[in-house]
Amino acid sequence: MNHSNKVLAVNDDLPIRTDKPVHSGKVRSVYWLTAEDSARLIEQKNYDVPKDTPLAIMVISDRISAFDCIWQGENGLKGVPGKGAALNAISNHWFKLFKEKGLADSHILDIPHPFVWIVQKAKPVMVEAIARQYITGSMWRAYSKGERDFCGIRLPEGLTKDQKLPEILITPSTKGVLTGLEGVPEADDVNVSRADLIRHLAAFNFRAESDVDLYETLLKEGFAVISNALAEQDQLFIDTKFEFGYVNGADGNEKLIYMDEVGTPDSSRIWDGAAHREGSIIEKSKEGFRQWLLNHFPDPDILLNKERMPERLALATDNELPTAVMMDISNTYVGIAEKVIGKKLTISEDPKQEIIDILRDEYQLISE
């Protein structure tokens, strides 16, 4: 069965009208709209933002990244069917719940299609906001080697792998490489302490010291909302990464909001509650795929060692993974999404054409 046309692997070549280069990340591509189109949509659709706010179309893809590489399957399968729709559906669900519970807003103004968000320009805070409720993954690896200080927090002795922590820990890391900051290594994704954030407020794009308190509050509140909702489905919310940014509301006042994605298998670990009570871990995230890659290739150090990036990129480029592995990832993502949203996920037959049609007919954003 050929799944390839159901997959949106390349998402930076859509004929969306823009006067800036398309920014393509690992999974999403961003098209900045012209000032005229932004102003027109704000008026037509009554978005709750200042009239001169720059807007962008954010298109998700079905690409699968792990260990900072994009992987592909055999028979032209350049992504994972259903992955993009699943990620967006999960984020949309949580953002909506945050809003209902009176938490902060997100950067999303409109969802024209399961693959598409219309977002307002935000100034990102340069922090990956990570919250952990259990000790596992990189934190456990460091703890088991004797480390006790994490992001300025001292952990007690005697913790065991995969156990619940005494309280939710906030362990931020850098988003991008920040240079010239005393006490902060010049590398992406390195742990920082609360004291580092306070000491270098402006470099991390925080406006005020009180906003460090606020982001921690929003992270904990968001974590609790997702954790409580998952608990009702007998799922454990283990750890997660949020991102934050500043935008102006329609009243012109600046506010801190959630941005990027929340509570997805790409940004979080979710475990099955029943299995955990029996002493085993059934992970509902990309972790299973990472483990498969580590077991599949004879030299897993290539995937773990940042010094061997050229070899790693070659590994991802030169190897087509079995269709069964790609479909297994698909089942994981679609399964989590359907559990979270409580209904069947619609998977497009031809997502690219659907996106073009909707953005042409309902938003007048396609360059003919």
Which tens digits make up the pLDDT trace of 180-231?
Answer: 999 999 988 889 999 999 999 999 999 999 999 999 999 999 999 999 999 9
Residue 330 has pLDDT above 80, yes or no: yes
- Average pLDDT of the segment spanning 73-86: 94
Same domain, 217 and 256: yes
Domain annotation covers residue 157: yes
- Average pLDDT of the segment spanning 288-317: 94
| Helical ranges in the chain per DSSP H | 35-45, 83-100, 137-144, 194-199, 209-231, 273-277, 287-296, 301-304, 309-318, 323-341, 351-361
Domain annotation covers residue 146: yes
Please tell me the predicted confidence (pLDDT) of residue 249: 86
- Average pLDDT of the segment spanning 309-317: 96
Domain annotation covers residue 75: yes
Average pLDDT, the chain: 94
Domain annotation covers residue 285: no
Domain annotation covers residue 284: no
86 close to 346: Cβ distance less than 8 angstroms: no
Predicted structure pTM score: 0.92
Q: Domain end: 277, 296, 311, which one?
A: 277
Please tell me the predicted confidence (pLDDT) of residue 288: 85
Residue 1 has pLDDT above 70, yes or no: no
Q: Domain end: 277, 299, 330, which one?
A: 277
Domain annotation covers residue 246: yes
pLDDT band with cut points at 50, 70 and 90 for residue 2: low
pLDDT band with cut points at 50, 70 and 90 for residue 138: confident
- Average pLDDT of the segment spanning 112-126: 96
Same domain, 262 and 138: yes
DSSP 152-219: TEEPPTT--TTPEEEEEEE--EESS---S-TTS-SSTT-B--HHHHHHTTTTTT-SSHHHHHHHHHHH
Please tell me the predicted confidence (pLDDT) of residue 348: 86
For residue 222, the domain's CATH number is 3.30.470.20
Same domain, 111 and 129: no
d(CA 165, CA 28): 33
Same domain, 131 and 114: no
For residue 17, the domain's CATH number is 3.30.200.20
pLDDT band with cut points at 50, 70 and 90 for residue 262: very high
Same domain, 16 and 145: no
Residue 3 has pLDDT above 70, yes or no: no
270 close to 237: Cβ distance less than 8 angstroms: yes
Same domain, 73 and 153: no
Same domain, 50 and 188: no
Q: Domain end: 261, 277, 293, which one?
A: 277
pLDDT band with cut points at 50, 70 and 90 for residue 4: low
Share of the chain above pLDDT 90, in %: 88
Structure confidence by residue, pLDDT tens digits, 339-362: 999 999 988 889 999 999 999 999
Same domain, 59 and 129: no
Report how many domains make up the chain. Answer: 2
- Average pLDDT of the segment spanning 293-314: 95
173 close to 205: Cβ distance less than 8 angstroms: no
State the residue range of the domain holding 85: 4-122+342-361
Same domain, 77 and 98: yes
Residue 37 has pLDDT above 80, yes or no: yes
Domain annotation covers residue 288: no
Residue 175 has pLDDT above 60, yes or no: yes
Domain annotation covers residue 297: no
Same domain, 107 and 145: no
Same domain, 145 and 253: yes
- Average pLDDT of the segment spanning 13-19: 96
Same domain, 212 and 356: no
Residue 149 has pLDDT above 90, yes or no: yes
